[in-house]
Amino acid sequence: MKSASRAHELSPEEQAIYRSLNPERMPAHIAIIMDGNGRWAGRRSLKRFLGHQQGAESVQYVVETASRIDLPWLTLYAFSLENNLKRPKTEVNFLMRLLRSYLINNVQRMNDNNVRIAYIGRTHELPAEVQEQMQQAAEATARNTGTVLTLALNYGARSEIIDAFAALARERAAKHRTKDHPMEHITEADLHRHLYTAHMPDPDLVIRTSGEMRISNFLLWQIAYSEIFVTERFWPDFRGLHLLEAIAEYQRRERRYGGLKTHTDEEIPEQAGVLVSR
């Protein structure tokens, strides 16, 4: 059952932007690369962990705004596979404690906002106590019908595609009862069925904070035709107001998916396609 909009709960500043939006062109799925926690702290001469703590606060502000405008899907790049492998162990351990604390302290808040939490990534590689808390939060919010908040944890898009191919290979081997040529005649739908996100629509809008112009191994398959919005604002300073500003920018763009907005029947001379050397 679709949840009712709670736009009346937005702040006056948020409502001013929300009222300008076209309700028929709202994105169904927004994915966010949350970047800049460390730099936010560094510019304030603070320890990096304080930037991560403030970033966790930003998550809930943005989630609440998403739930109030009835955004169906919100995916947050919370902890990458590369973070797990390349960051100092002390920082990784702190991030795991912060994640566990976030899940413990915000379940009631998620329920109050009708938010259901889910996860993508190689979550089986996370510490057992973190996995246990993730499961508890998922079970506690499973009956909610509003925004689905998906945390990408120990996630990497290349790894996701590798895992999908491996699952597809196992499926083909079992189906044909042989390992001879099990991967012939693959379609996009075959691979999509085995992605972590198979149950989700592709993102309409990808937001990246901190001004970096890169994707960082996030949802590479799924964002083929997503609109991308980059803000110089660091994640700890990002709020629901800025989410709405990104949606407003999204609505000003023309999505063509490789086609044209209007078709043309203009005739193109045959010689127009011939390159002449000089």
* Catalytic site includes residue 105: no
Report the pLDDT averaged over residues 110-120: 98
- The pLDDT value recorded for residue 206 is 98
- Our answer to whether residue 180 is catalytic in this structure is no
| Domain assignments of the chain as residue spans, ordered by start | 7-155+201-253
Q: Can you give the pLDDT at residue 265?
A: 64
User: Distance between the two ends of the chain, CA-based, in angstroms?
Assistant: 67
Q: What is the mean pLDDT of residues 89-117?
A: 95
Average pLDDT, the chain: 91
d(CA 47, CA 64): 27
Neighbours of 199 (CB within 10 A): 10
What's the half-sphere exposure (Cβ side, CA atoms, 13 Å) at 35?
A: 19
pLDDT of residue 1: 46
pLDDT (tens digit, 9 = 90+) per residue, 202-222? 999 999 999 999 999 999 999
CATH superfamily for domain 7-155+201-253:
Decaprenyl diphosphate synthase-like (3.40.1180.10)
Mean pLDDT of 3-12: 84
What pLDDT does 72 receive?
98
Check 37, 83, 114, 144 and give the catalytic one: 83
Q: Is the pLDDT of residue 253 over 70?
A: yes
